[in-house]
Structure 1
Amino acid sequence: MNVLVTGGAGFIASHLVDELIALGHAVHVVDNLSTGREENLNPHAVLHRMDIRDDRLADVFREVKPEAVFHHAAQIDVQTSLKQPLLDAEINILGTIAILEQCRDYGVRKLIYASSAAVYGTPDYLGVDEKHPVRPLSFYGISKHTPEHYIQAFAALCGLDYTILRYANVYGIRQDPKGEGGVISIFVDKLLRGERPLIFGNGEQTRDFIYVKDIVRANLAALTQGSGGLYNVSWNEQTSVNRLLDVMCGLSGRDFNPVYGPARPGDIEHSRLDNQAALDGLGWKPVYPLEEGLKETLAYYERLYSRQAM
C-alpha cells in the first residue's frame, strides 16, 4: 500500500514509518524538519522536505497517490501556543485543512489523525472518556480539536474514511528533550548529564504515560479498523511527576534531587484517559507498562550519551 506520513521524521511518526516499512508498505514522508530529524527517518522512506502548508503538497499527492495518510505534523508545544497562537493555528488547523483538501482531490481512502488529550481541558472526572466535554485550556488544545470537526465534515461531504486518535502523554526513544520535549525525555537528559531535574508545581500532578510503541500499534490498527471513530490512546493509569522521577532514578541509579518551580499556565492538575473504546473499536490494548518503557528509553539514551562522550 502507498502510505503518506506527515511529520514522519519526528518522534512518534518516525517509529510509525519504521513499522509501516517493516510491514511492506511504500512510505512517503512530508516533513519540513523544523523539529523532526533526518537521522530519525528510515532509509527506505521517501522524504519530501516541505511544510504541510506548501503549495507543492499537491504535487506529492499527485505523485504518490496514497491510499492512507497518517497526519502527525503539528505544532505540539503548549507554551509555544500561548506565546504564538497565530502560528499554532496556522500549522495545526490550516495545515490539516490543506492535507484534507489533498485527500479529497486525490482519492485517499483513509486519514488517521493524531489528536491530543489536551482537547479535554480540566477533567470533570477520571478516567476521561470520549464523551467527556471538550474544554481546552490552551490554544494548542483548541488547535488540535478544531481539525477533528473538519475531518468529520470532509468525511460526510466527500466520503473520506478516518480514525481520530487522542493521545495521552507519549514518551520513548527519539523524543527530543529540547523545545517540545515531554517530561520523561527532559528528565532522562538531566539525569544522564548529572543535572537536577526541574519540576513545575509540587510534583503531585498526575499524567497518563503511554509508550511510543503502543501508540504505533494503535495507528497500525486504525489502518483497517475504527472507521469513523474517535479513540483515546492511553495506558489508563495515573502517575505523579514525583513518582515518575523516583522510578527513573531507581532504574538509572541516580539520586532523587529535583528543583521545584512555579506551576505553568495551561497545565492541568490530573489526567487519566479511559481507553475502553480503543480496546473495543480498534482491537488494541497497551502492552508496555511504564517501568518497561522507561527501561528501554533509559537504556537507549545511556548508549547514545556514552557514544557522544567518546
Structure 2
Amino acid sequence: MSVIVTGGAGFIGSHLVDALVSQGRQVHILDNLSTGHLRNVNPGAIFHHGDLLDGGLHQVFAEAKPEFVYHHAAQVDVQASLAAPQQDAQTNIAGTLAVLEACRLFGVRKIIYASSAAVYGSPLYLPVDEGHAIRPLSFYGISKYTPELYLASYAALYGLDFTILRYANVYGDRQSSQGEGGVVSQFVGKLLLGERPVIYGDGEQTRDFIYVKDIVGANLAAMTRGSRGVYNIGTNRQTSVNELLMEMCAISGEPFDPRYGPAREGDVLHSRLSNAAAMNELNWQPAYSLHSGLEATIAYYRAQREQRVLR
C-alpha cells in the first residue's frame, strides 16, 4: 500500500514516515526542504524534492499511486503569518487545495490533515473540545482552518474521505525553534549551551504540550478510524511556560534562570485540549508524560551536540 507524506522531511512528518516505513508501507515523501532536512529522510522512503505549487505535484501522485495521503507540509509560525499573511495563505491554503485536487484526480482513498489548536483562538472554556467556536487570533489559525472547510466540501462533492487532527503544542527531537511547540527546542538549545532561555511574557501562559511520538500514534490510528471526523490531539493537561522550563532544568541539571521579554502578538494565554473524542473514536491515547517526553527530547539533543563536539 502506497502513502504520500507531504512535509515528510520535517519535524512531525519525518517521525510519521519512520513509523509508516517500519509497518512495511511504501512511503513517498514530498518536501521542498524549506524547513525540512535531508538528514531526516528515512532511507526506506522515496523522496521527491518539490513544492506543492511548483507544478510537479501531479507527477509525484502519478508515480506513487497513493491510497492515503498525510498532509503535513505547512507554514507553522504564528509570528511569520503576521509578518507575511499572503505567503502564509499561499502555503497553507493554496498548497492544501493543490493536494486535495491531486487526491481527487488520482483517486486517493483518504487524506489525514494536520490542523492546529490555533483555530480556536483564545478559549472560551477549558478544556477545549471540538465543538468550541472557531475564533483564530492569528493569520496562521485562519490558514489552518480554511483547508478544513475544503476537506468537508471535497468529501461531500467527490467522496474523498478525511480525518482532521488538531494538534496541541508538539515537541520532540528534530524540531526547529519555530512554530507552536518551538519553545521546547529553544529552551533545550539555550540550556545545553549554558545560556539563559528567554520567556516571552510572564511565563504563566499555559499550553498543552504533547510529545511527537504521541502525534505519530494518532496519525496511524486515523488511517483506519475517524472517517470525516475532527479530533483534538493533546494531553488534556495545562503546563505554564515557567513550569515547562523548571521541568527541563531539573532534567538537564541546569539552573532555572530565564530572561523575560515582552509578550508576543497573536499568542493565546491559556490552552488545553480535550482528547476524549480521539480516545473514544480513534482508540488512541498519549503514552508519554511531560517528564518522559522532555527526558527523551533532551537526551536526543545532548547526544547530537556531543557528536558535533567529537567531530
Q: Per the shorter chain, which TM-score range?
A: over 0.9
SS of the residue corresponding to residue 293 of structure 1 reads: helix
Structure 2 residue aligned with 1:105: 105
Structure 2 residue aligned with 1:76: 76
Alpha-carbon distance, 1:179 to partner: 7.5
Instruction: State how far apart, in whole Å, the 1-side matches of 2:54 and 2:72 are.
Output: 16
Structure 1 residue aligned with 2:50: 50
Instruction: State how far apart, in whole Å, the 2-side matches of 1:175 and 1:56 are.
Output: 27
Structure 1 residue aligned with 2:240: 240
The one-character-per-residue Cα deviations of 1:259-294 (angstroms, maximum 9, x if unpaired) are: 000000000110000000001110001010000000
1:200 aligns with 2:200: yes
SS of the residue corresponding to residue 232 of structure 2 reads: strand
Structure 1 residue aligned with 2:266: 266
TM-score, scaled to structure 2: 0.98
Q: Which amino acid aligns with 1:35?
A: T
Structure 1 residue aligned with 2:175: 175
Structure 1 residue aligned with 2:23: 23
Alpha-carbon distance, 1:180 to partner: 7.4
Structure 1 residue aligned with 2:8: 8
Is the Cα contact below 8 Å between 2:207 and 2:241 reproduced in 1?
Answer: yes
Instruction: State how far apart, in whole Å, the 2-side matches of 1:34 and 1:151 are.
Output: 25
Instruction: State how far apart, in whole Å, the 2-side matches of 1:179 and 1:250 are.
Output: 24
Structure 2 residue aligned with 1:155: 155
Q: What are the equivalent positions in structure 2 for 1:24-43 lying under 5 Å apart? A: 24-43=24-43
The one-character-per-residue Cα deviations of 1:112-141 (angstroms, maximum 9, x if unpaired) are: 000000000000000000000000000000
The one-character-per-residue Cα deviations of 1:137-164 (angstroms, maximum 9, x if unpaired) are: 0000000000000011001000000000
Alpha-carbon distance, 1:178 to partner: 5.7
The one-character-per-residue Cα deviations of 1:171-222 (angstroms, maximum 9, x if unpaired) are: 0011013677610010000000111000000000000000000000000000
SS of the residue corresponding to residue 260 of structure 2 reads: strand
Instruction: State how far apart, in whole Å, the 2-side matches of 1:134 and 1:264 are.
Output: 21
Ranges of 4+ aligned residues in structure 1 off by more than 6 Å: none
Q: Which runs of 5+ in 2 are unaligned?
A: none
Q: Which amino acid aligns with 2:203?
A: G
Instruction: State how far apart, in whole Å, the 2-side matches of 1:28 and 1:280 are.
Output: 30
Q: Which amino acid aligns with 1:274?
A: S
Q: Which amino acid aligns with 1:306?
A: E
Cα 1:179–1:96 change in 2 (3 A) is closer
Structure 2 residue aligned with 1:85: 85
SS of the residue corresponding to residue 39 of structure 2 reads: helix
Query: How many percent identity over aligned positions?
Result: 63
Alpha-carbon distance, 1:55 to partner: 1.0
Instruction: State how far apart, in whole Å, the 1-side matches of 2:29 and 2:300 are.
Output: 25
Structure 1 residue aligned with 2:134: 134
SS of the residue corresponding to residue 199 of structure 2 reads: strand
Is the Cα contact below 8 Å between 2:76 and 2:178 reproduced in 1?
Answer: no
Structure 2 residue aligned with 1:295: 295
Structure 1 residue aligned with 2:187: 187
Give the count of matched residue pairs.
Answer: 310
Alpha-carbon distance, 1:80 to partner: 0.4
Measured on the aligned residues, the alpha-carbon RMSD in Å equals 0.9
Instruction: State how far apart, in whole Å, the 2-side matches of 1:103 and 1:54 are.
Output: 16
SS of the residue corresponding to residue 5 of structure 1 reads: strand
SS of the residue corresponding to residue 284 of structure 1 reads: coil
Q: Which amino acid aligns with 2:11?
A: F
Instruction: State how far apart, in whole Å, the 2-side matches of 1:180 and 1:274 are.
Output: 18
Instruction: State how far apart, in whole Å, the 1-side matches of 2:3 and 2:178 are.
Output: 29
